[in-house]
A and B are shown apart, each in its own frame.
Chain A
Amino acid sequence: KQEVTQIPAALSVPEGENLVLNCSFTDSAIYNLQWFRQDPGKGLTSLLLIQSSQREQTSGRLNASLDKSSGRSTLYIAASQPGDSATYLCAVGPDTDKLIFGTGTRLQVFP
């Protein structure tokens, strides 16, 4: 059974810092991996999608990497801002349409 874990569970940093959020999964046979952002009491916003054949994706200040063989992904946030404060979820796709979500990292960026 696929299990997805995220470390750290919570993170509080001053504005401007570069951050690394970690995601690990137990079964390397994945179709893709996604990173989402969730604001309190809200739905999910997709940030980055990495196909199993890819090693990384970039969007603005965000960079996500994927190492399937070791079962790991990292989300790098450059020059963090207070507006980045949210819960970040990674999710692996065991096949084309299902998603298995990680436990999440609650990020707070203070001015």
Chain B
Amino acid sequence: GAVVSQHPSRVICKSGTSVKIECRSLDFQATTMFWYRQFPKQSLMLMATSNEGSKATYEQGVEKDKFLINHASLTLSTLTVTSAHPEDSSFYICSATPSGRTDTQYFGPGTRLTVL
């Protein structure tokens, strides 16, 4: 089956530092990847849509300069949280849509970010 991995699974950083999270589709190519954020006991909120070779599309209220997304290849998208603050602490989940398909998203295992 289609597998999506995320790295790291957990990260703890100091306030003001930047953190990069990787999302990889292991056995399929993904033209489109999505980044979600999930706060404790809340649902997933879509942050941005990442398209290979083009700029990401951000949802309303998500700061594009704070959450940098790069989708440089058909199997890798990265989310960089710049100048992280404690309120950025959350569970970040990515998903990937196989190229040529639009109605299926395969989800990664998530990355727990804690900003001290």
B62 to chain A, nearest CB (A): 14
Contact residues of A between 1 and 32, Cβ < 8 Å to B:
4, 31-32
Say whether A42 contacts B110, CB under 8 Å: yes
Nearest residue in B to A91 (C-beta to C-beta)? B44
A6 to chain B, nearest CB (A): 8
Say whether B105 contacts A89, CB under 8 Å: no
A44 contacts which of B32, B93, B97, B112 (Cβ < 8 Å)? B93
A52 to chain B, nearest CB (A): 11
Main secondary structure of the interface of A (DSSP, over half): strand
In whole angstroms, how far apart are the Cα atoms of A96 and B49 in the complex?
Answer: 13
Say whether B44 contacts A97, CB under 8 Å: no
B107 to chain A, nearest CB (A): 4
Determine if B54 is an interface residue (Cβ-Cβ < 8 Å): no
Say whether A43 contacts B110, CB under 8 Å: yes
In whole angstroms, how far apart are the Cα atoms of A43 and B109 in the complex?
Answer: 4
Write out the residue numbers on chain A whose beta carbons fall within 8 Å of the beta carbon of B68.
none
Determine if B115 is an interface residue (Cβ-Cβ < 8 Å): no
Per the CB 8 Å criterion, the residue count for chain A at the interface is: 24
Say whether B43 contacts A103, CB under 8 Å: yes
Write out the residue numbers on chain B whose beta carbons fall within 8 Å of the beta carbon of A49.
103-104
Say whether A97 contacts B110, CB under 8 Å: no
In whole angstroms, how far apart are the Cα atoms of A97 and B112 in the complex?
Answer: 25
Residues of B within 8 A of A (CB): 4, 6, 32, 34, 36, 42-46, 49, 91, 93, 95, 97, 102-110, 112
In whole angstroms, how far apart are the Cα atoms of A32 and B104 in the complex?
Answer: 10
A47 to chain B, nearest CB (A): 12
Say whether A41 contacts B102, CB under 8 Å: no
In whole angstroms, how far apart are the Cα atoms of A6 and B104 in the complex?
Answer: 22
> Residues 44-60 of chain A: 1 if any B CB is under 8 Å from the residue's CB, otherwise 0?
11100101000000000
- Enumerate 28 A-B pairs (CB-CB under 8 Å) in ascending A order: A4-B43, A32-B103, A36-B107, A41-B112, A42-B109, A43-B4, A43-B6, A43-B93, A44-B93, A46-B104, A49-B103, A49-B104, A51-B103, A97-B34, A97-B49, A97-B103, A97-B105, A98-B34, A98-B46, A99-B34, A99-B46, A99-B105, A101-B36, A101-B43, A101-B45, A102-B43, A103-B43, A104-B43
